[in-house]
Amino acid sequence: MKTISPDINKQSVSAVKWSALGSIAQYGLSLGAQIVLARILGPENYGLFAMGTIVLTFSNFFSNFGFAWGLIQIQDLVEEDIRFVFTWQLITGIMIAIGLYLLSPFVANYFNEPRVDPIVRWLSLACVFSAITAPASNLLRRNLDFRWINIIQIISYSIGYLGIGIPLAYQGAGVWSLVAAWLTQSFIMLVITFIRHPHSIKPLLWYSGAKFMSGVGITVFLTNLCNWLLNNMDRIFLGRFLDSHAVGLYTVGYNLSNTPNNLFIGAFQPAFFTAGARLQSEPDRLRRAYLPVIATVWILIAPLFILFAIIAPDLIGFLYGRAWTSSAMVLAILALSMPAYITWSMSTPILWNTGRKHFESLLQLPILAIAGYAFYSFANQGIMMVALITAGLIVIRATVITTAACRRLNISFLDLFSFAVRGIVMMSLTAVSTFSGIKLGVLGNIYITTKLSPLAYTFAGINVNFAAVTPHLLPLLGGVFFGSLILLATVFVFPRLLGNEVIEMLSRFSPRLSRALDDNTKSESRKLMAVEK
């Protein structure tokens, strides 16, 4: 087995850096692929695939069962642990794949959509691929080897979606281009992950440590099942009460809001969870690690989602086209709730690493009941109502789990109050500047429409009409430019607004940026002292 460096902080920072770089690369790839595929396939094909993947992700929880997470949690790892985990991952993966294949007609009947039947049958293969991949993948996480984790994800996604999915979509394969892309990505990830971290595949059904590994597996399974229901119940009821077109429109807005969300969670949570597992007996260090993370989410990341929500109509209009206009409000509503989602995601590792891993599922059971009632009662009213319910549930989940995490670390409301106030100030500045930028873009568009609409130029044999391409582009560029400009200017001109916790977090990953902010803080202090004198 590979030895673990005692310098947890250094390893964690390196892991987060690689996670961040990988997440940014995956964000760019997935955004580009989603736009191209959505334009080619349209809402209906996207909706059919979304129905299939809802069932697939549910089945993956059964096929993975959570055994592999024990490889991260266990303090002293031996070969028998790996063999036991791999054996049961393989067994459950095959059993669930067979069950999903046989039950596919019932799934299609639930959604009132017979085309879902063959989609689910083919996607059942991914249960086996995912189950077999999990042990090696979590061994990489245990070693904080996020560099290779992200390389593997980028390579597999590129081959699956750019190499297989998009070409098939251009050839008219429809929803099957998405199915082929998903299966290809899963298989490539399996192969490369095992090559990077090979392990014994000799079967082992039971051994002395099986009780601990099974306990972790059951806890992870119940927790993931609860989270899956809360994360997918919106599309489950949409598919039941509406149609594949509505599911497709909703899914694009949901995925687009969740893509930057996954970027931040993918960059921070895995390393935070793994490093926290090694600090289970040091709550003070966990507390010192947790507070800067929450401060960064509320003060720096939340304003970016405010910007994202405001530009949603122009972003959808420019990237996806008129056919996807209804997705804009879904995107805007869900984007506003994503800071709460990230807060929840960064709070769950605290419960797991302070001996309260079962709290995550227990605390969310009442929320699950509320969600079931709300979606069952109102999903037939359309995708905007579903988006509002989803956003409200995310905020409730974040409040409950974060409160529990803070109690475990003896963090009071007053400790978080300054973060909230600074975050509100930053979000307000970002909102005002983004709206202003959009208004300037609209004025620019009016000017172009009135002055240049008769003009069309030919470039490389392509006829370009300026008025036709600017309705969404100029407001989008104006909102992004002014919103981000004011946010960055505020950070560098008034660094005190960030607070020590955020500056501390930035210093871990960019000492040069930290020094610049520190110099600005000192300069600001001297000016205040001069004014007081």
Would you call 121 helix, strand, or coil by DSSP? helix
- What is the share, in percent, of the chain residues with pLDDT greater than 90? 45
Q: What is the DSSP letter of 464?
A: E
Contacts of 295 (CB under 8 A, 6+ apart): 419, 499, 501, 502, 505
pLDDT category at 459 given cuts 50, 70, 90 is very low
Q: Is the pLDDT of residue 355 over 90?
A: no
User: Given this model, what pLDDT does residue 46 score?
Assistant: 87
The mean pLDDT value for 470-487 works out to 91
Q: Around Cβ 86, how many Cβ atoms within 10 Å?
A: 24
User: Does pLDDT of 339 surpass 90?
Assistant: yes
Q: What is the DSSP string of 123-174?
A: HTHHHHHHHHHHHHHHHHHHTT-HHHHHHHHHHHHIIIIIIIIHHHHHTT-T
Provide the pLDDT for residue 522: 56
Q: Which pTM was predicted? A: 0.77
The Cβ of residue 182 has, within 10 Å, a number of other Cβ atoms equal to: 23
Over the stretch 237-259, which tens digit does the pLDDT of each residue have? 998 898 889 999 999 999 888 88
User: Which is more confidently placed, 152 or 525?
Assistant: 152
- Are 166 and 36 spatial neighbours (Cβ–Cβ below 8 Å)? yes
**Contact present, 304 and 260 (Cβ < 8 Å):** yes
How far is Cα 404 from Cα 130, in angstroms, rounded to an integer?
A: 31
**Which one of 11-20, 223-232, 474-483 scores highest in mean pLDDT?**
474-483
pLDDT at residue 2, as a whole number = 42
Q: Which residue has the higher pLDDT, 24 or 125?
A: 125
What is the C-alpha to C-alpha distance for residues 180 and 164, in angstroms, rounded to an integer?
7
Q: Are 256 and 23 in contact (CB under 8 A)?
A: no
17: pLDDT strictly greater than 70: no
462 DSSP β-pair partners = 459
Q: How many Cα atoms are found within 13 Å in the side-chain-facing hemisphere of 378?
A: 15
What pLDDT is stored for residue 460 in this prediction?
Answer: 44
Contact 204, 80 (CB under 8 A): yes
pLDDT at 524: 54
Is residue 258 within 8 A of residue 61, CB to CB? The reply is: no
pLDDT of residue 466 exceeding 90, the answer is no
Task: Label each residue of 193-253 as H, E or C.
Answer: HHHHCCCCCCCCCCCCCHHHHHHHHHHHHHHHHHHHHHHHHHHHHHHHHCCHHHHHHHHHH
The most confident of the ranges 125-129, 289-293, 308-312, 450-454 is: 308-312
Most confident of 16-25, 457-466, 494-503: 494-503
What does the mean pLDDT of the chain come to? 83
Q: What is the DSSP letter of 207?
A: -
Evaluate whether 19 touches 270 at the Cβ level (below 8 Å).
yes
Cα distance between residue 165 and residue 167, in whole Å: 6
pLDDT tens, 79-129? 998 999 899 889 988 998 999 999 999 999 999 999 999 999 999 999 899
pLDDT at 525 exceeding the cut of 60: no
Contact in structure between 338 and 305 (CB atoms under 8 Å):
yes
Identify the pLDDT of residue 3. 42
Determine which of 215-224, 431-440, 447-456 has the lowest per-residue pLDDT on average: 447-456
Provide the sign of the torsion angle of the four alpha carbons 27, 28, 29, 30, taken in this order.
Answer: positive
Q: pLDDT at position 315, please?
A: 93
Would you state the structure tokens that stand for residue 256, as one six-digit string? 């687009």
pLDDT at 186: 93
Report which listed range, 121-135, 250-264, 518-532, is most confident: 121-135
